[in-house]
Structure 1
Amino acid sequence: MERYLILLLLVILLIAFALSIAFCVTAQKLSEEGSQEICTTPGCIYAASTVLKYMDESVDPCDNFYRFACGKYIKNTNIPEDETSIAPTISIDNTIEKQLKMIIEELPTESNKPYRLMKTLYNMCMNTTAIESDSIPYFLKLLKDMGGWPLLEDNKWNENNFDWKQLLYKLRKHAANTDYFISLRIGTESINSSRRIIRLDQAGLGLSREFLIKGFEEKLVKAYYEYMVDIAVLFGADKNASLKELKETLELEIRIANVILPKQEYRTAPHIYMKVEDLFTAYPFIPWVEYINNILIIPNITITTDEGILVGVLDFLPKIEKVLSNTPKRVLANYIFRRVALDAVSYMPDEFINKKLKYYRVLTGQREREARWKTCTRIATKSLSLASGASYVKKYFNKSIKKHAKEIVADIRAEFVKMLQKADWMDKVTKRNALEKAASMTAYIGYPDELLNEKNLEKYYADLEITSNKYIEAMKHLSLFFADYRNKKLREPVNKTEWTSHAFPPPVRAFYSFTGNSIEFSAGILQGIFFDNDRPRYMNYGGIGCVIGHEITHGFDDRGRKFDKNGDYSDWWEKNTKTAFMKKAQCIIDQYGNYNVPEVNLNINGIITQGENIADNGGIKVAYLGYQAWVARNNPEPRLPGLKYTPNQMFWISAAHISCDKPRREEMKLRVTTGQHPPGEYRVVVPFGNSGYFAKDFNCPLGSKMNPVNKCSVW
């Protein structure tokens, strides 16, 4: 009898064990596949309809997931004639633009000063009749007062009175660019991010270096040349003289481009700290104290020889000196005035804008001019960004979104911390520093509360006045106001939490600050394809979650890793760990560099894009793990109606949708040649293909295109 009871007990225990195993398997399957329930709320129905508009289900997701997730969107969405591409982000920005236009047009005349200034600027921009009569005479008088553009003055121009430095000093007083030979600005000091410093760098160019160095055989260089001739003729220059003299200026710009460091080398170029006195001793071709004081014009501050300065590319200075010393004065003057003239085109009558469009047809593929209201809305709202931001948030932003976005940030940051803890290639000291940096990272979401305080806006714009009735002159006053506002802070410590530094709600915007060790997500990005309170979390973690993960990972990419938890540039990586990181990063560089973009027959530049690629790969991983953490705390979510995909699969589909993009061929060439991001397709197929989680969720066999045998991973 006793033996029988023991056997019975064993059978019961075996049955209980089998049931517990079955329960665990079922629970695991439910966790992976989600509930079999269907969400039928209006939000879910709308989300499902949007997904179906994007997807091409005839494509095998294990062959090309981008074409699977975005194929129908690319096929059925037309690029507007006034755009260079179409993408979900552009559609959101266009909606925001219309909303801002309504805000401006509905502002009462008795509005507070910040809003009144915004409306005044918008109306001045829209008044094309006044622009037609005022802009050209104003600009030509400006040129005359500065000694005259040789091309317009012909034989009356006297080179004996010309000094390129003195001309730049005059231009600075009129808010014109002055970086034609050397760039000078006030920025954050790298090794001590609580301080500001004067930064000296390479020249700015009118066309990307990558095209200029190819010379006149390059199609874009030819178009650039035609454009500058067209504009000079509209200002009154002789056509034949323009062809000759502007060719000389373009040859000068090509020489400057050839002494500028390429982007892939500039990424790792050391920044050298020097005293102004030492700078003059080494490079006396410029009277540096005079030059800095006249280019920056810092209110109530005079720069002396004892001032510290950060030099971006020291080798550039002797090279640009040689270029300048071997160039005739007339060519130097023509070059400066030609650059000034092209910068002024936006403030000129329609015939100038039409010539710019002719150039942009070649440069970007843009077919038609954008509506004037778009141009003026953008200029008014960007120029008065705090006023436009406050207006937008008050009227269009749902404040509850901030709470949900913060929850997603917390989940994803927690998963990034876990990922750091599990990184077996990092030594203990470097890992501890990395964990401290991740924990110290500040998140700014939507907008700062101070933005909605009217007194703050009144104080910020207190010294700004638009007294001229000329649009071009009003823009000059605005530029001078903001230059003074920035430059007068040279001696002030950096307040990294200052609300004005984090108050740009309307555009679709997200970024990581190296010196601030902070991530920021505008109100504009917390909508549409990125985020919606009324749809399942797997779509939000796949949308804005991937962006959040991307920006967090930037703190640990090839450049971000060089800044510590305080935002200071420092070497906090142990040698072997640094070597391991570089090896992992090289895998990413080589992997992306092997992809050819067939539309333009160019390979992706794996070096220039490595920071974004590291962030894409790390971001998608921690966003996915963040969603799994949310599911673990809550119940598995229901599926979308009319779709067969599990919540995990929908995460990947939603993540792909934020990269759906349809650029014109000309725009694609620009991006691949000069951009820091790879085209949208490669922001999906490469990082998703590097993910074992993706391969598991879509059952992609090892060796398929979306589950390659050889994968790359930094984080």
Structure 2
Amino acid sequence: MKSLVFLLLVSTVSGGYRSSYRKERARDGGVFKFLVSGNETAIKQALSTCLTPGCVKAAATVLEMIDMKVDPCDNFYDFACGNFLKETTIPDHKSETGSFQMLADKHNERLRKLFETSPSANEPKIFESVRNYYKSCLDQDNIEVTGRKALLDMVGQLGGWPILEGNNWEDKTFTWQDFDVKANQKGLDTGRIIKFEILANSENVNMRMMHVVQPNLGLSREYMINGVNNKEVKAYFRYMVDLAVYLGATKEIAEEELKESLLFEIKLAEISLPRELLRNATALTNPMIVKEANKLFPGFNWTEHINNIFPDLEAPLQSNEVINLKVPLYVKRIAEYLPTVPARVQANYLIWRTIKDLVLFGDKTVQQIDLKYINILTGESLVSPRWEICAKVVAGLNGNLEFYFKEGSLTNAVGAMFAKEYFPESSKLVADEMVINIKREFKIILDELEWMDDITKKKAHVKVDKMTPHIGYAKEILDNNLVNEFYQGLELNSLDFLRNYLNLTSFIKKYNSKEFRKPINHKSWKIHGGAAIVEAFYGVHQNSLIFPAGILYGVFFQSDRPKYMNYGAIGSVIGHEITHGFDDQGSQRDEDGNLVNWWEPETKQKFLEKAQCIIDQYGNYTVDINGTVYNLDSINTQGENIADNGGIKEAYRAYKRLIRKEGEELSLPGLQYTPRQLFWISSAALYCKVARDNQMINTILTDYHAPYRFRVLGPFSNQKEFSKDWNCPLGSAMNPEKKCSVW
């Protein structure tokens, strides 16, 4: 057996190091020889530095992002992201950009290549539909010719828009229930007044259940409740009017009648429950038989309506079956209010919401009307490139990811295309090991907790043990026969973008209806085939950890860089998702995802007290935007904040335990930071982001995550290990005397 002897020549050059290598073959027992010029410090640093391509690349990225002029103990976010914040310009078609968003941009470019490449032999049939759907979205010339007419035709098929019909519109035959049925038949979204959804049964997550929920609004409730004089509400009203005028209404009539529709929607916002009251799953679980629920809304036949909007149920819903009223108070309020609203106002509103949903399929004039509105909300001043819009639409990554999560959507097809091309098996193996290590560390933390009693602790261990990881992709999506079977009956072969969309949504509706009475297999590939997204999730109904292939890349994960970089980045994300099983919402469910109170009362009270510390801490964070000071919404962000704090702690401890076993790793070249310091830098790098002022306000008011800056400052300042690694004196900004810790 032979070994390599490296002759390392080291010299000091302008405070850095220049190295050359000479390889010599030697027999066993050969000696590692050094020819040295320079000082002893240079030698030691050279010997402790990693010079692989992966390390050099990682070091370059760190150097591009950090600002060495900032004291890490004063503001670690400005230290770790300072140079990035100074040098990064937000593209005109974006409201924000950062490490995460840039990786998503790269991901979109990969999707574009997949959708624009020629088909391969023996690929699943659905791949052709995916490409054609994308192609029809790109066909702006066809949209320019057909877009306005298609919208008007749709309005006509739904009974007409009163502001266009004038006195010819007949209100005597209109009901919102009939409107929903017509819209559903076309493949359109419904439930603008009361929404019915097929979801898991919270008390038995292996079965589906019909749920009654309050509707989503056209503009977030946080804006709407501020009334007609709110800047964003004014922009929303102008948006309504502009689209109505585009379709043929006079401005005067549009303003007059749509003002009533706006006031109607504001009232819907007022009678809807605020987000903080929707965090309690027990309060949202109110099972009752349909005919009893019917009593909350006299004159509305629930059984008939549900069967009309879900015509593909294997067996029609019966009036003695149990459904869940998530928000009984909203149902009572809307039942009292709706009879006071003229049919014309209801119809104007419902058609408006339908048109708003379809602006994506409009011509360039519609796109500019939409942009004028979006500019007020987020600051964007340019329409996104069409290819980017289309890639995200096809993959279900536009908007709120609703289509990504819909069973029966293109998620599995796009996931199969992506996994075959971009995800190496070696990445999955490394990520698998990290999940095992971090789960194990969380269990050790559980054993160390003094505030948790033994009975509750034992149940917590069971929940961690039963957390099922889904990493990269489900292998079944590479089976062409399974994929063909899953999408049997779906063809998106029209030249018309809107027609393809409606065919897809109709397929999704039928798929979910047919699954309604079947047990749910939470480990099935059919609900875990999504690989093509830069995100990670905790499946609350499944007690599962989901890390799609798209996130195991770039700033989150690279197999050729030191483990401290990966543990700081994707490791903290893994810990974050594990902790979601024990945040204010995840803690309400047992090891199978069922809504069960598994806590001993005293321990539950201690948990709530610790969570309150997090709420108070983040509630004191403020953002000054052009002289207006905003406090963070620490109630609605508490789940993410608890997960951020737990995630970084678990990842750090898991890494420390790993290096005690495997030995210390080498540092990065050109940087004077230790591996443990680089762990923290790597973790903070995930959250380097710049955002426009309007978008920042939007984030503070409506996002369940704290603004990125506080996703570093909050969790890091709560970790004693951070202060130790950076020598932060007690009482400094990053080492406060009072620290919050839940897990």
TM-score range, shorter chain: over 0.9
Out of 122, 141, 145, which is 2:134 matched to? 122
Alignment of 1:27-106 (within 5 A): 37-106=48-117
For the pair 1:237 / 2:263, whether they are aligned, the reply is: no
Q: In the alignment, which residue of structure 1 is the partner of 2:734?
A: 706
For the pair 1:213 / 2:225, whether they are aligned, the reply is: yes
Q: In the alignment, which residue of structure 1 is the partner of 2:320?
A: 306
- Give CA deviations for 1:274-293 in whole Å, capped at 9, x if unaligned: 10011113332321001111
SS of equivalent to 1:474? helix
Give how far 1:270 is off.
Answer: 3.6
SS of equivalent to 1:488? helix
What code does the residue aligned with 1:439 have?
D
Out of 690, 696, 714, which is 1:668 matched to? 696
Q: In the alignment, which residue of structure 2 is the partner of 1:271?
A: 285
What code does the residue aligned with 1:650 have?
L
For the pair 1:553 / 2:579, whether they are aligned, the reply is: yes
Out of 585, 605, 608, which is 2:611 matched to? 585
> Does the CA-based 8 Å contact 1:296-1:487 persist in structure 2?
yes
- Give CA deviations for 1:524-570 in whole Å, capped at 9, x if unaligned: 11011111111100000000000000000000001101110111110
**If the length of structure 1 is used for normalisation, what is the TM-score?**
0.94
Q: In the alignment, which residue of structure 2 is the partner of 1:460?
A: 486
Q: In the alignment, which residue of structure 2 is the partner of 1:392?
A: 418
Query: How far apart, in 1, do the equivalents of 2:436 and 2:494 lie?
Result: 49
Query: How far apart, in 2, do the equivalents of 1:467 and 1:547 lie?
Result: 39
> Does the CA-based 8 Å contact 1:34-1:646 persist in structure 2?
no
Q: In the alignment, which residue of structure 2 is the partner of 1:4?
A: none
Out of 348, 351, 367, which is 1:334 matched to? 348
Query: How far apart, in 1, do the equivalents of 2:255 and 2:45 lie?
Result: 68
SS of equivalent to 1:598? strand
Give how far 1:177 is off.
Answer: 1.6
Q: In the alignment, which residue of structure 2 is the partner of 1:355?
A: 369
What code does the residue aligned with 1:49 have?
A
- Give CA deviations for 1:193-223 in whole Å, capped at 9, x if unaligned: 1111001111210000010010111110000
Query: How far apart, in 2, do the equivalents of 1:77 and 1:135 lie?
Result: 37
> Does the CA-based 8 Å contact 2:99-2:686 persist in structure 1?
yes
Out of 526, 529, 533, which is 1:507 matched to? 533
What code does the residue aligned with 1:401 have?
S
Q: Which has the higher helix share?
A: 1
> Does the CA-based 8 Å contact 1:441-1:518 persist in structure 2?
yes
Query: How far apart, in 2, do the equivalents of 1:679 and 1:524 lie?
Result: 23
Query: How far apart, in 1, do the equivalents of 2:516 and 2:114 lie?
Result: 35
Give how far 1:381 is off.
Answer: 2.9
Query: How far apart, in 1, do the equivalents of 2:363 and 2:215 lie?
Result: 29
Range that drifts further, 115-124 or 55-64: 115-124
What code does the residue aligned with 2:543 have?
N
Q: In the alignment, which residue of structure 2 is the partner of 1:23?
A: none
Q: In the alignment, which residue of structure 2 is the partner of 1:485?
A: 511
Q: What RMSD, in angstroms, separates the aligned Cα atoms of the two structures?
A: 1.5
What code does the residue aligned with 2:616 have?
D
> Does the CA-based 8 Å contact 2:126-2:491 persist in structure 1?
no
Out of 268, 271, 296, which is 1:256 matched to? 268
Query: How far apart, in 1, do the equivalents of 2:450 and 2:545 lie?
Result: 26
For the pair 1:683 / 2:711, whether they are aligned, the reply is: yes
SS of equivalent to 2:471? strand
- Give CA deviations for 1:206-252 in whole Å, capped at 9, x if unaligned: 00001001011111000001111111111111111001111110000
Alignment of 1:144-223 (within 5 A): 144-223=156-235
> Does the CA-based 8 Å contact 2:576-2:643 persist in structure 1?
yes
Ranked by relative contact order (alpha carbons within 8 Å, sequence separation 6 or more), the top structure is 1
SS of equivalent to 1:473? helix
> Does the CA-based 8 Å contact 1:36-1:639 persist in structure 2?
no
Query: How far apart, in 2, do the equivalents of 1:103 and 1:341 lie?
Result: 31
Query: How far apart, in 2, do the equivalents of 1:291 and 1:125 lie?
Result: 34
Out of 614, 633, 647, which is 2:675 matched to? 647
> Does the CA-based 8 Å contact 2:473-2:548 persist in structure 1?
yes
Query: How far apart, in 2, do the equivalents of 1:73 and 1:493 lie?
Result: 49
Query: How far apart, in 1, do the equivalents of 2:186 and 2:434 lie?
Result: 46
Out of 474, 491, 496, which is 1:448 matched to? 474
SS of equivalent to 1:193? strand
Q: 1:684 to 1:36 in 2, by over 3 A?
A: farther
Give how far 1:188 is off.
Answer: 0.5
Query: How far apart, in 2, do the equivalents of 1:468 and 1:54 lie?
Result: 46
Query: How far apart, in 1, do the equivalents of 2:217 and 2:659 lie?
Result: 50
> Does the CA-based 8 Å contact 1:430-1:574 persist in structure 2?
yes
What code does the residue aligned with 2:383 have?
R
> Does the CA-based 8 Å contact 2:296-2:335 persist in structure 1?
no
Give how far 1:145 is off.
Answer: 2.7
Query: How far apart, in 2, do the equivalents of 1:357 and 1:463 lie?
Result: 36
Q: In the alignment, which residue of structure 1 is the partner of 2:594?
A: 568
Query: How far apart, in 1, do the equivalents of 2:286 and 2:47 lie?
Result: 61
Structure 1 spans left out of the alignment, 5+ residues: 1-32
Query: How far apart, in 2, do the equivalents of 1:570 and 1:298 lie?
Result: 32
Q: 1:467 to 1:695 in 2, by over 3 A?
A: closer
Query: How far apart, in 2, do the equivalents of 1:144 and 1:675 lie?
Result: 36
Query: How far apart, in 1, do the equivalents of 2:494 and 2:109 lie?
Result: 27
> Does the CA-based 8 Å contact 1:256-1:323 persist in structure 2?
no
For the pair 1:344 / 2:344, whether they are aligned, the reply is: no
> Does the CA-based 8 Å contact 2:640-2:705 persist in structure 1?
yes
Out of 521, 527, 536, which is 2:547 matched to? 521
What code does the residue aligned with 1:686 have?
G
What code does the residue aligned with 1:421 have?
D
Query: How far apart, in 2, do the equivalents of 1:331 and 1:281 lie?
Result: 25
> Does the CA-based 8 Å contact 2:313-2:516 persist in structure 1?
no
Give how far 1:297 is off.
Answer: 2.6
What code does the residue aligned with 1:41 have?
T
> Does the CA-based 8 Å contact 2:127-2:413 persist in structure 1?
yes
Out of 289, 293, 303, which is 2:307 matched to? 293
Query: How far apart, in 1, do the equivalents of 2:615 and 2:124 lie?
Result: 52
Give how far 1:35 is off.
Answer: 10
**If the length of structure 2 is used for normalisation, what is the TM-score?**
0.90
Query: How far apart, in 2, do the equivalents of 1:325 and 1:282 lie?
Result: 14
What code does the residue aligned with 1:277 have?
K
What code does the residue aligned with 1:399 have?
E
Range that drifts further, 571-580 or 460-469: 460-469
> Does the CA-based 8 Å contact 1:260-1:316 persist in structure 2?
yes
Give how far 1:112 is off.
Answer: 4.0
Give how far 1:313 is off.
Answer: 1.0
Out of 634, 637, 653, which is 1:606 matched to? 634
Query: How far apart, in 2, do the equivalents of 1:176 and 1:406 lie?
Result: 40
Q: In the alignment, which residue of structure 1 is the partner of 2:333?
A: 319
- Give CA deviations for 1:415-449 in whole Å, capped at 9, x if unaligned: 10000111111111111000100111011101011
Give how far 1:136 is off.
Answer: 2.4
- Give CA deviations for 1:602-638 in whole Å, capped at 9, x if unaligned: 1011110000000011111000001011101201000
Q: 1:388 to 1:34 in 2, by over 3 A?
A: farther
- Give CA deviations for 1:272-315 in whole Å, capped at 9, x if unaligned: 01100111133323210011112233333201111111111111
> Does the CA-based 8 Å contact 1:433-1:572 persist in structure 2?
yes
SS of equivalent to 2:676? helix
Q: In the alignment, which residue of structure 1 is the partner of 2:39?
A: none
Q: Which has the higher strand share?
A: 2
Range that drifts further, 96-105 or 276-285: 276-285
